Amino acid sequence: MLPLHEAEGTATRRRIEPLTPFPVVALRVLIVDDEASVRKVMAVVLAQLGHLCRTVAGGEAALRILETEQIDVVISDLQMPGMSGMELLSKVRQLYPQLAFLVVTGVDDIRVGIQAMRQGADDYIVKPFQVDPNVVSGSLTRALQKKRLELEVENYRYHLEELVAEQTQQLREALRQIECSYDHTLEALGAAIDLRDSPTAGHSRRVFLYSIEIAKGVGGLEKEMRNIAMGAWLHDIGKLAIPDAILLKPGPLTHEERQIMQRHAQIGYDLVKGIPFLTDAAEIIFAHHERCDGSGYPRGLKTDDITVGARIFAVADTFDAMTSDRPYCRALPLESSRKVIQSGAGKQYDAQVARVFLTIPDETWNRIRTETAAIQTSGFATTSDMQALSKLIKSQG
């Protein structure tokens, strides 16, 4: 406990019962005034209210007290030699924002007192004092209520920030789990496609990885990378609705059979367009057989109307088709396939995409083919591929 008011070095122990109905809460009050008589009167009034006081003659001394002792309320004159009351207020607000601060001002300086409140004071007391504890008690009560509300607001804000941070982390974890669930769903769909069309085993994974390599080379597509990957992964999902007699036919298709086969782009688009996280990928599925000169299907689109993801996929898909064994034709060497892409640049294939494709070394394509063959005999894309893609996108973001 702090000692009772020391009036000019002598402890004042006289205790007078409060004259008001205000509850007695022993506050530790620091009185700052360069006039000894003012300090003494204020200390006596506060003693009547049951509070414990320390008195000092200036701002510098007040700051030294605050460094070493626990204080609840500072009552300071505004006009003092050396550090003024306004300067002390600024220091206290900066160093001890939890303290209640009252200023003492003359009748002619009430505007100054109001200005002090605007700058952080909690209330003011007018001198010369009416030796009435009710006046001082009322000012103290208002100041403490104001300070209590400020602290409650600050505490609420602090805990609100904690709550927001916690809920944000929970949301991130939930989104991570949803993303993981999506990846498992896509893995199953990719497996179903490749198992349905067993002669093209591994095709989904290869064109998925080919498309990513080309997109990385094109550059500036970090935000599109995942959509390109998912579109490439699921590009043939519409083939699930194509009859086996056509899908697995070992020889060339008739005109009628080719028309039925070509429906898989529309069927695939219709299957996934209503799935929120596949909406953009659906556009790639729809346009993956379009060609820049308008010779593709199902809509005969030209370059500017074909999404960049579909333009990238067209090169990846053509390259994989040429370099893979099919029931009706043997795989071409990589060099021969490159020449086909080169000759179609600016015609069937986007010129920039083709140019980027041609700069990628054969070692990259061979590595992807080898890894795909080693995963399992069906070789379809796995969840780990999508997780690796997610890391890639984050590192490039």
Instruction: Quote the number of domains for the chain.
Output: 2
pLDDT score, position 310: 96
Residue 183 tokens, joined: 């990846």
- Residue 180 domain flag: no
Reply yes or no on whether the pLDDT at 248 is more than 50: yes
Residue, of 78 and 114, whose pLDDT is higher: 78
Of 83-87, 163-167, 226-230, least confident by mean pLDDT is 163-167
Q: What letter does residue 72 receive in the DSSP assignment?
A: S
- Domain extent for 138: 6-163
Q: Mark whether 264 and 155 lie in a shared domain.
A: no
Q: Does residue 344 belong to any structural domain of this protein? A: yes
- Pairing between strand 10-11 and 6-7? antiparallel
Residue 189 falls inside a structural domain: no
**pLDDT attached to residue 350:** 96
Q: How many CB atoms lie within 10 A of CB 135?
A: 15
Final residue in a domain of this structure, among 143, 163, 183: 163
Distance CA 264, CA 282 (A): 12
Q: Which two tokens stand for residue 31?
A: 């009185």
**Which one, of 101, 365, 383, 374, lies nearest residue 217 by Cα?**
365
Distance CA 348, CA 311 (A): 10
Q: Which of 158, 150, 2 is nearest to 72 (CA)?
A: 2
Q: Are residues 212 and 129 in the same domain?
A: no
Q: Is residue 169 part of a domain?
A: no
CA distance 268 to 256: 19
Q: What are phi and psi of 42, to 5 degrees?
A: -60, -40
Residues 205, 312 within the same domain? yes
Segment 370-390 mean pLDDT? 59
% of the chain at pLDDT higher than 90: 40
Report if residue 29 sits inside a domain.
Answer: yes
- Direct distance between the N- and C-terminal alpha carbons of the chain, in angstroms, rounded to an integer: 59
For the domain that residue 138 is a member of, what is the CATH number?
A: 3.40.50.2300
Looking at residue 119, its pLDDT comes to: 86
157 and 241, same domain (yes or no): no
Residue 19 scores a pLDDT above 80: no
Same domain, 87 and 214: no
Residue 291 lies inside a defined structural domain of this protein: yes
The answer to whether residues 51 and 95 belong to one domain is: yes
Q: Are residues 227 and 151 in the same domain?
A: no
Most confident of 138-147, 156-165, 181-190, 359-368: 359-368
The pLDDT value given to residue 292: 95
Tell me: the pLDDT tens digits for 355-378? Answer: 999 999 999 999 999 888 877 544
CA dihedral 121→124→127→130, nearest 10 degrees, is: -150
Residue 175 inside a domain? The answer is no
Mean pLDDT for the stretch of residues 287-311: 95
Q: Clarify whether residues 363 and 220 are in a common domain.
A: yes
Rounded mean pLDDT of 71-78? 91
Per-residue pLDDT tens over the stretch 313-351: 999 999 999 998 876 678 899 999 999 999 999 999 999
Are residues 303 and 218 located together in one domain of the fold?
A: yes
Residue 174 covered by a domain? no
Residue 272: which CATH number? 1.10.3210.10
For residues 147 and 222, membership in a common domain is answered with no
87, 59 contact by CB (below 8 A): yes
- Look at the block and give the residue holding tokens 């944000």: 168
Q: Are residues 227 and 129 in the same domain?
A: no
264 and 157 within one domain: no
Domain boundary residue, one of 163, 189, 205: 163
Burial class (CB within 10 angstroms; exposed 0-12, middle 13-18, buried 19+) of 341:
buried
Residue 137, pLDDT > 50, answer yes
Of 163, 189, 219, the one marking the end of a domain is 163
Tokens of 129: 């004092």
**Is residue 297 scored above 70 in pLDDT?**
yes
- The reported pLDDT for the residue numbered 9 is 38
